[in-house]
């Protein structure tokens, strides 16, 4: 199995291997071969389109966790200019699972905060696989309060398997750290736009996820408990995760119908990792559009709308 492709994508992987092989033999500009490559490419695109038109919720969870899926740092360099990473919660330490700093979005100063899973193995360990500890949420809160003072909008990129479930996390008050962020984000007097770029898992995601506008990438997921966790509780086996994913409605489509998610940003064919630049362009355009809209109304009105929206959840 090709690790760059998911299980349901293996037919595409096989075609891609063929294309690659043909490209290698075809260096002497044989006209028939280039014709063959073109046909195969078309076939591969059609197949991708077909497969992606029928993804199950569980398939989407897999795309959201794809090993090649772009992470927060991949986007930060593409969405913004002048990014300065800022570190530390000023109390305990610096949590590398949450990245934050000041940047410019199309020239406009913003504060950007996101969970980072880390790409290479060493990097993943450094980032704790994107599972923040209390100091991560407290760093985020510090940066958000700073954003409020200097009238910079806040943009958060959500991508986490959850807040870190460990002894040290509990000792330093992970619950309180998340709760505090929810409370303060509900009234922070600056626009907040949240984008789920990959995996939005429970309180660990929501801890940087309260704002005026919540968008999801097309194949991102957002859940109250991981499908594996849900399956484990109900069926006593993680093998039932696909059923759990379907029952919980973890996709942007369902969440938009429920009125929880405001917008879905379409992904390039075959997922964001197939064309990171194009994905970043779309996110950037969306951020600029939404920010322009939010900044049209006075802050008090925006805050009232944010609050009313929070109060309406589930109604």
Partner 1 sequence: MSWIDKILPSGVRKEEGARRSSVPEGLWKKCVKCDAVLYRPDVERNDDVCPKCDHHMRIGARRRLDIFLDRDGREEILTDIEPVDRLKFRDKKRYRDRLSAAQKATGEKDALIAMRGTLQGMPVVTVAFEFAFHGGSMGYAVGEKFTRAAQLALSEGMPLVCFSASGGARMQEALISLMQMAKTSAVIERMKVAGIPYVSVMTDPIYGGVSASLALLGDINVAEPDARAGFAGPNIIEQTIRQKLPKGFQRSEFLLAHGAIDMIVHRNDMRDTLARLLGKFTGQVPVVPEDTEDDASSADASGSVESIDLTDD
Can you give the binding site for partner 1, defined by CB under 8 A? 163-167, 169-176, 178-180, 182-187, 202-203, 206-207, 209-210, 222-225, 230, 233-235, 243-244, 247-250, 254-255, 258, 260, 307, 310-311, 313-315
State both tokens at 184: 């303060």
Cβ at position 307, least distance to partner 1 in Å: 6
Supply 9's token pair.
Answer: 């994508």
- Alpha-carbon distance of 115 to 177, in angstroms, equals 15
Comparing C-alpha atoms, which of 258, 251, 272, 257 is closest to residue 55? 251
Q: Which is nearer to partner 1, 76 or 196 (CB)?
A: 196
CB of 237 to partner 1, least distance (A): 12
Residue number with CB closer to partner 1 (198 or 203): 203
Least Å distance, CB 156 to partner 1, is: 13
Q: Cβ 306 to partner 1, closest distance in Å?
A: 8
Among 186, 211, 209, smallest CA distance to 199 is for 209
**Bridge partner residues of 115 (DSSP):** 98
DSSP letters of 190-209? Answer: S-EEEEEEEEEEHHHHHTT-
**C-beta of 219: minimal distance to partner 1 in Å?**
17
How far apart are the C-alpha atoms of 24 and 158, rounded to whole Å? Answer: 40
Query: Of 153 and 227, which has the nearer Cβ to partner 1?
Result: 227
Sequence-separated (6 or more) residues with CB below 8 Å from residue 80: 103, 104, 105, 110, 112
Nearest distance from C-beta of residue 276 to partner 1, angstroms? 27
Identify which of residues 52 and 137 has a Cβ nearer to partner 1 in the complex. Answer: 137
Q: Which is nearer to partner 1, 139 or 273 (CB)?
A: 139
Q: Which residue has the tokens 């398939």?
A: 59
Identity of the residue, 68 or 187, whose beta carbon is nearer to partner 1 in the bound complex? 187
122 or 236: CB nearest partner 1: 236
Contacts of 119 (CB under 8 A, 6+ apart): 71
CB of 229 to partner 1, least distance (A): 8
| β-strand partners of 160 | 200
Q: How many residues in the chain?
A: 315
């Amino acid at each position: 199995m090709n690790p760059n492709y998911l299980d349901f994508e293996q037919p595409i992987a096989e075609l891609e291997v063929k294309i690659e092989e043909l490209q290698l033999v075809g260096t002497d500009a044989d006209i028939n071969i280039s014709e063959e490559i073109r046909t195969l490419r078309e076939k591969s695109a059609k197949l991708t389109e077909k497969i992606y038109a029928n993804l199950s919720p569980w398939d989407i969870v897999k795309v959201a966790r794809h090993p090649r899926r772009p992470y927060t740092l991949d986007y930060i360099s593409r969405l913004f200019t002048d990014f300065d990473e800022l570190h530390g919660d000023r109390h305990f330490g610096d949590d590398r699972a949450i990245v934050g700093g000041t940047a410019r979005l199309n020239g406009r100063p913003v504060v950007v905060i996101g969970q980072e899973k880390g790409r290479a193995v060493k990097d993943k360990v450094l980032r704790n696989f994107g599972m923040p500890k209390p100091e991560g949420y407290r760093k985020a809160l510090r940066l958000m309060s700073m954003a409020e003072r200097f009238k910079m909008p806040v943009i958060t990129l959500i991508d986490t398997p959850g807040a870190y479930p460990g002894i040290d996390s509990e000792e330093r008050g992970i619950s309180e750290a998340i709760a505090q962020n929810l409370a303060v984000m509900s009234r922070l007097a600056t626009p907040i736009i949240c984008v789920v770029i990959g995996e939005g898992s429970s309180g660990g995601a929501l801890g940087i996820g309260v704002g005026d506008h919540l968008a999801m990438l097309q194949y991102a997921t957002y859940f109250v408990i991981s499908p594996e966790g849900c399956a484990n509780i109900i069926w006593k086996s993680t093998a039932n995760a696909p059923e759990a994913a379907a029952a919980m409605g973890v996709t942007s489509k369902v969440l938009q119908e429920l009125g929880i998610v405001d917008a879905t940003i379409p992904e390039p064919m075959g997922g964001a990792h197939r064309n990171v630049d194009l994905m970043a362009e779309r996110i950037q355009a969306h951020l600029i559009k939404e920010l322009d809209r939010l900044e049209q109304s006075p802050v008090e009105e925006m805050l009232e709308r944010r609050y009313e929206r929070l109060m309406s959840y589930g109604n």
